[in-house]
Amino acid sequence: MTNVTTEHSPTLKLKLETREARIGIVGMGYVGLPLALLFSSEGFRVTGFDIAADKVATLNAGKSYIVRILPEAIEAARKAGFSATSDYAGIAEMDAIIICVPTPLDEHHEPDLSFVTGTVKALSPNIHEGQLIVLESTTYPGTTEEVVVPLLESGNRHGLRVARGGETSGVHVAFSPEREDPGNDSVDRRDIPKVVGGCSSAAAELAAAMYGSIFHRVVPVSSPAAAEMTKLLENIYRCVNIALVNELKQLCIRMGIDIHEVIDAAKTKPFGFQAFYPGPGLGGHCIPIDPFYLSWKAREFDFRTRFIELAGEVNTAMPYFVLEQMAAALNEHGKNFKGSKVLILGVAYKRDIDDLRESPALTIIELLRKKGANVAYNDPFFAKVGHGRKYDLNMTRAPLDDLGQYDAVVIVTDHSSYDYARIVREAQLVIDTRNATRGIESAKIIHC
């Protein structure tokens, strides 16, 4: 990498290395807030920017709205100078800005970049020469250079340009994907290597200096597009492999083979195999969505991403498969969906987290209701379920007692707080989509 020799940037590099730089993080959600707390705990002065006034007020009151982030962590950050604001004027005082806003799909299943473009338009009048701006939102290759850079250049008042290639003056722009795995505390955040691709060597160097003061390893790549593609490769790899085991699970059920026994045996191979586990379908803000960002972009190149489409098809069908298996199990008991009482256990999209986005539980509840079932749910993280992407469920949590009243109890999310032995003992019928009841022998359990 070249050395940065601009008037502003050497100062910024030094400020980043000595942690004197002021960091602004835009988007105080599941990604941005923990990142802000991390930078703050490492001695940086951090300001969080968010358009949601209630989040700003909550943070400034030293409280949290994400279960796994304790108020004590926010209070500690506040003591170290952290504050939140909705006022973009404060962007001018920042040395570096990290953007962590949502990148969902729209109703046509196409990338919705409105949060990214809205953010960049709002911050560009306040940017200054030598500032570092890093996009962390997951997106298709090309977004940083084709969307973010032109908006930054057209939106600022001083005719500022973004440094490209070997240029050393201007605004420094980079992309660095967020690789967090919510609910997985087995890897320290600092041990997750940080991939960085800059629009210029100077931007890459500055971004590496910023993240290098926190993360133990920075992995530079040659461009923002390579960094954007890296994140998509990681998530597509997961999506495709989960689809593979979901398909094989369906075959194994037909063949009378336990897929989990097979996976456990296969993963004893010391090379060439990584275990993925089947479930009731994909959820969360990443795996069901990100691959389609690439499918969309690929069309511009007259290219069909067939693995992504096939994986999407298999994974999307999983809630329907769960219903088929349930119908067969109820039938064995001389019952059908209409009028049956069903308890859904776990509505979060995965174990031990308070995130409902794209959860397959929402689809399963909706499908069961359409078939005339009387559906209740229990989840330690949600006292109420309002609406998902497509559904307005309007339900409140049922207590975890009197399980015998339900015709079926469906384990959709295997939260670790549940006592599965008791659930099996008390329920009439258990539909287990996660192998949560492994080791419990009972004719009441249907694995699917």
Ligand X SMILES: NC(=O)c1ccc[n+]([C@@H]2O[C@H](COP(=O)([O-])OP(=O)(O)OC[C@H]3O[C@@H](n4cnc5c(N)ncnc54)[C@H](O)[C@@H]3O)[C@@H](O)[C@H]2O)c1
Q: Which residues are catalytic?
A: 286
Structure-block tokens of residue 63: 């409280």
Point out the residue whose Cβ comes nearest to ligand X: 29
Q: Which is nearer to ligand X, 170 or 360 (CB)?
A: 360
- Is 32 a residue that touches ligand X (CB under 6 A)? yes
Among the listed ranges 17-25, 26-34, 165-173, 430-438, the one in contact with ligand X (CB under 6 A) is 26-34
Give least dist CB 439 to ligand X, A.
Answer: 30
Task: Enter the tokens of residue 231.
Answer: 């994140």
Helix or strand or coil: residue 213? Answer: coil
First-last CA distance in the chain: 52
144 binds ligand X (CB under 6 A): no
Least Cβ distance, residue 230 to ligand X (angstroms): 12
30 binds ligand X (CB under 6 A): yes
Residue number, 27 or 170, with CB nearest to ligand X = 27
∠ CA 11-178-155, rounded to 5°: 60
State how far the Cα of 414 lies from the Cα of 246, in Å rounded to an integer: 17
The DSSP element (H or E) to which 16 belongs, if any, is helix 9-17
CB of 219 to ligand X, least distance (A): 16
CB of 114 to ligand X, least distance (A): 8
- 178 is a contact residue toward ligand X (CB under 6 A): yes
Which residues, other chains included, contact 308 with Cβ-Cβ below 8 Å and sequence gap of 6+?
236, 239, 240, 291, 292, 294, 295
Calpha distance 291→220 (Å, rounded): 23
C-beta of residue 59 within 8 angstroms of C-beta of residue 48: yes
Q: How far is the CB of 188 from ligand X (least distance, A)?
A: 16
DSSP 279-329: -S---SSSTTTHHHHHHHHHHHTT---HHHHHHHHHHHHHHHHHHHHHHHH
Which residue from 9, 40, 50, 388 is in contact with ligand X, where contact means CB under 6 A? 50
Residue 291 C-beta: closest distance to ligand X, Å: 12
Stretch that binds ligand X, among 43-51, 190-198, 361-369, 411-419 (CB under 6 A): 43-51
Identify which range of 15-23, 44-52, 196-204, 248-256 contacts ligand X by CB under 6 A.
44-52
Least separation, in Å, of the C-beta of 34 and ligand X? 9
Residue 172 per-residue DSSP state: E
Q: Is 100 in the site for ligand X (CB under 6 A)?
A: yes
- By CB under 6 A, tell whether 244 contacts ligand X: no
Q: Distance (Å, rounded) from C-alpha 33 to C-alpha 202? A: 27
119 makes contact with ligand X (CB under 6 A): yes
- Compare residues 28 and 94 and give the one whose CB is closer to ligand X: 28
- In degrees to the nearest 10, what's the CA dihedral of 324, 330, 333, 339? -150
Residue 40: closest CA among 76, 15, 86: 76
Q: Is 28 one of the binding residues for ligand X (CB under 6 A)?
A: yes
Contacting residue, 52, 310, 327, 367, with ligand X by CB under 6 A: 52
Cβ contact 227:148 at 8 Å: no
Site track 274-303 with ligand X (rule: CB under 6 A), x = hit: -----------xx-----------------
Q: Which stretch binds ligand X (CB under 6 A): 22-30, 145-153, 377-385, 427-435?
A: 22-30
**Selection from 211, 265, 261 nearest residue 98 by Cα:** 211
Residue 126 lies near ligand X (rule: CB under 6 A):
no
Residues binding ligand X (CB under 6 A) = 26-32, 49-52, 55, 100-103, 115, 118-119, 122, 137-138, 178, 180, 182, 285-286
